[in-house]
Amino acid sequence: MSKILIVEDEESIADLEKDYLELSGFEVEIQNNGDDGLRDALEKDFDLLILDLMLPGIDGFEICKRVREVKNMPIIMVSAKKDDIDKIRGLGLGADDYMTKPFSPSELVARVKAHLSRYERLIGSNAQENDVVEIRGIKIDKTARRVWVNGEEKNFTTKEFDLLTFLAQNPNHVFTKEELFKKIWDMDSIGDIATVTVHIKKIREKIEFNTAKPQYIETIWGVGYRFKV
Ligand code: CA
């Protein structure tokens, strides 16, 4: 349930707005002066702010500016004077909407809903998607470091995962064991390149239907391996 803060010094207006919003399923709190309103807006967790312009204490201009500096939530500013609305727009304080009193409570509810859903969409589109590689039934989620083969999750050790991912991201490219060893184990080939062979074998056991006839990681005799697409 979305939580809304109303900062409004006219009690009858604040109560009316609260009633309508609560009927629409919102949770609503009221502050009737600028100082308490600013404190709550900054410290508490609200989804939307309905902010009157002329308030005892800190005014709506200042509250809007201060909230916008640190919080990403819709702010609807209301004022009794049309001139003030023009002034707010001119100041570019970052309010999302402006309403001149008197307005119908149902109009306010409609705007509240519209702004909340717009913010949800914005937040949704900013969410980072996982980096996924998908090739013929193999799905590698690089972000989560998980692998599925034909929909079934398989467990890989760190180096097996790195090796499979590297090959799958460079399909049809033949790599020598030395190249793979340098790439995945991140050191000059002093180590044992047989390690690569062992890891390829382990990976095949997890991804291939028949390890004797690999469909994914091919052995290029005398050269190395390639991930076939
Ligand atoms: Ca007022």
Is 60 exceeded by the pLDDT of residue 118?
A: yes
- Give the 3-state secondary structure of residue 64: helix
Q: What is the mean pLDDT of residues 92-110?
A: 90
Whether residues 65 and 98 share a domain: the answer is: yes
Phi, psi of 49, deg, nearest 5: -120, 125
Is 90 exceeded by the pLDDT of residue 229?
A: no
Q: How far is the CA of 71 from the centre of ligand 1 (A)?
A: 23
Q: What is the pLDDT of residue 125?
A: 65
Q: How far is the CA of 53 from the centre of ligand 1 (A)?
A: 6
Q: How far is the CA of 216 from the centre of ligand 1 (A)?
A: 70
Please tell me the total count of domains within the chain.
Answer: 2
C-alpha to C-alpha distance for 32 and 53, rounded to whole angstroms: 12
Is 70 exceeded by the pLDDT of residue 190?
A: no
Which CATH number do you get for residue 218?
Answer: 1.10.10.10
Q: How far is the CA of 52 from the centre of ligand 1 (A)?
A: 6
Q: How far is the CA of 219 from the centre of ligand 1 (A)?
A: 77
Whether residues 46 and 66 share a domain: the answer is: yes
- For the beta carbon of residue 220, count every other beta carbon within 10 angstroms: 11
pLDDT tens profile 2-44? 999 999 999 999 999 999 999 999 999 999 999 999 999 999 9
| pTM (predicted TM-score) | 0.57
- Give the 3-state secondary structure of residue 25: coil
Whether residues 7 and 30 share a domain: the answer is: yes
Residue range(s) defining the domain that contains residue 35: 3-123
Which CATH number do you get for residue 31?
Answer: 3.40.50.2300
- Residue among 192, 188, 190, 200 at smallest CA distance from 224: 200
Whether residues 69 and 105 share a domain: the answer is: yes
Is 60 exceeded by the pLDDT of residue 73?
A: yes
Q: How far is the CA of 55 from the centre of ligand 1 (A)?
A: 5
Is 80 exceeded by the pLDDT of residue 210?
A: yes
By CB atoms closer than 10 A (0-12, 13-18, 19+), residue 180 is buried
Q: How far is the CA of 78 from the centre of ligand 1 (A)?
A: 9
Q: How far is the CA of 54 from the centre of ligand 1 (A)?
A: 4
Q: What residue has token string 């001149």?
A: 100
If you ran DSSP here, which 8-state letter would residue 132 be given?
A: E
Domain closes at, from 123, 153, 178: 123
